[in-house]
A and B are shown apart, each in its own frame.
Chain A
Amino acid sequence: MGKIDGESSEMASTNPSSGSNDEDKPQPNARRGPQIQLAPEALDNDGIALSILLTEALAPHGPVMGVAVDQVVVEVAVEQLEAAAFTLRNNPELNFNYFRCLATVDYQEYLELVYLLYSTEFRYQIMFKTNIEYTSGDIPTVTVPSLHKIWPAADWHERESHDLFGVLFSGHPNMEPLLLYEEFEGFPGLKSFPFNEYEDW
């Protein structure tokens, strides 16, 4: 039974630094809201070993390692994306042959693409991330290389990401709208999409 309270002493390793906290703190005057904490990192031994293995294997691509509660996170730049994905798939010690999902998160200054990968042979799970910047207005114009040649399962996930967020993928065979109807304007996944707007029929 865990009691999550404002300050708890066992979260020593993830003591929130004041920089990221101050702008996020909810500030109604009458009550003291709890401080925003960072999620605890609970990587077990297999995860730590995987983390070291990935750092070595992806060294030429400059990975930034991280942890998301209990999964290893690898972040690369967009230019290195295709090469790093190739390594992840074909390195015999990693063999990430199963593409789970592509999640797109809108952080309002940049978009984050999270590829969730899985290796059926070694039972490794990782989150493979990359950031793409908005360059003009709020529509991203950075083109991400499509990974569907490496993992054919990425096909519809990339189509959906394009449909809902406007991410451009190069080299994808078919970019037609998947979930939305043809005349839909705008990208509903983005935070800037007006939420309560409703077109009357």
Chain B
Amino acid sequence: MEITNEQHALGAGNTPAPSLLHRVMPGVITAKTDQLIALARKSSLWPLQFGLACCAIEMMSTYMAHYDLDRLGVITLPSPRQSDVMIVAGTVVKKMAEPIKLLYEQMPDPKWVIAMGSCATNGGPYYRSYSVVMGVDKLIPVDIYIPGCPPRPEALMHGILELQDKIVKDAKASG
């Protein structure tokens, strides 16, 4: 029984490049494990429900029906032990710094942090206030910064897509 290239080369849509493996086992994807795992991780990012201030309202709008985040696989969860992204939305006040660090440490690896809004990026409109931490990256390492006061829901979606790209790139780079 001979599996010819033509049977696989001519088809609707994308046709796979004919390789030795495809002649033996058609319909099989091969990739590095890291990349596959990265694909799985990026497609189902579960953020911790962590709205601090005004940006939380825009974050809620993004989760809801109009700018749905569920189609990106993003479901929000209250518990840090089950989430892999922390979207810090709002002003970080010095009184809240301890709980934020605790929450970050409670999240299992691998974890990412998105700093949403200008308050979480660098203190925002409360720049010289006596009780505001100038940006959450003074406490925890941040992967993506989303500017805006508050950022539009499209901006938050763009930030999450950038995070997905970053996960893929990191996997490629480390492999």
Which residues from chain A sit less than 8 Å from chain B, CB to CB?
A: 180-181, 184, 188, 193, 195-201
Q: Are A201 and B94 in contact (CB-based, < 8 A)?
A: yes
Residues of A within 8 A of B130 (CB): 188, 193, 195, 197-198
- How does the 8 Å CB contact mask read for B135-149 relative to A, with 1 for contact and 0 for none? 000110000000000
Answer whether A201 and B95 are a contact pair too, CB < 8 Å, given A180-B131, A188-B130, A188-B131.
Answer: no
Q: Which residue of chain A has the shortest Cβ distance to B131 in the bound complex?
A: A180
Asked if B156 is at the interface of the complex by the 8 Å CB criterion, the answer is no
Residues of B within 8 A of A193 (CB): 130
Q: Which residue of chain A has the shortest Cβ distance to B132 in the bound complex?
A: A198
Residues of A within 8 A of B86 (CB): none
Q: Are A198 and B95 in contact (CB-based, < 8 A)?
A: no
Residues of B within 8 A of A197 (CB): 130
**CB contact between B128 and one of A180, A198, A199 (< 8 Å): that residue:** A198
Answer whether A201 and B138 are a contact pair too, CB < 8 Å, given A181-B94, A181-B95.
Answer: yes
Q: Which residue of chain A has the shortest Cβ distance to B94 in the bound complex?
A: A181
Asked if B134 is at the interface of the complex by the 8 Å CB criterion, the answer is yes
Known: A200-B138, A201-B139. 11 other contacts (CB 8 A): A180-B95, A184-B131, A188-B130, A188-B131, A195-B128, A195-B130, A196-B128, A197-B130, A198-B130, A199-B94, A201-B94
Residue of B95, B134, B139 with highest tally of chain A CB at under 10 A: B95
Quote the shortest CB–CB distance from A179 to chain B (angstroms): 8
Chain B: interface secondary structure?
Answer: loop
- Counting residue pairs across A and B whose Cβ atoms lie within 8 Å, the total is 23
Q: Which residue of chain A has the shortest Cβ distance to B93 in the bound complex?
A: A181
Asked if B97 is at the interface of the complex by the 8 Å CB criterion, the answer is yes
Q: Which residue of chain A has the shortest Cβ distance to B133 in the bound complex?
A: A201
- Taken together as a complex, chains A and B put the C-alpha atoms of A201 and B95 apart, in Å, by 12
- Taken together as a complex, chains A and B put the C-alpha atoms of A198 and B127 apart, in Å, by 10
Q: Which residue of chain B has the shortest Cβ distance to A182 in the bound complex?
A: B95
Residues of B within 8 A of A188 (CB): 130-131
- How does the 8 Å CB contact mask read for B93-117 relative to A, with 1 for contact and 0 for none? 0110100000000000000000000
Q: List 8 A-B contacts (CB under 8 A).
A: A180-B95, A184-B131, A195-B128, A196-B128, A197-B130, A198-B128, A198-B130, A201-B94
Q: Which residue of chain A has the shortest Cβ distance to B97 in the bound complex?
A: A201
- Taken together as a complex, chains A and B put the C-alpha atoms of A195 and B134 apart, in Å, by 15
- Taken together as a complex, chains A and B put the C-alpha atoms of A58 and B133 apart, in Å, by 48
Residues of B within 8 A of A198 (CB): 128, 130, 134
Residues of B within 8 A of A200 (CB): 138
- Taken together as a complex, chains A and B put the C-alpha atoms of A184 and B139 apart, in Å, by 19
Residue of B94, B128, B134 with highest tally of chain A CB at under 10 A: B94
Residues of B within 8 A of A201 (CB): 94, 97, 133, 138-139
Residues of B within 8 A of A181 (CB): 94-95, 131
Residues of A within 8 A of B134 (CB): 198
Q: Which 4 residue pairs across A and B have the least CB separation, nearest first?
A: A181-B95, A188-B130, A201-B138, A196-B128
Quote the shortest CB–CB distance from A188 to chain B (angstroms): 5
Q: Which residue of chain A has the shortest Cβ distance to B138 in the bound complex?
A: A201
Residues of A within 8 A of B138 (CB): 200-201
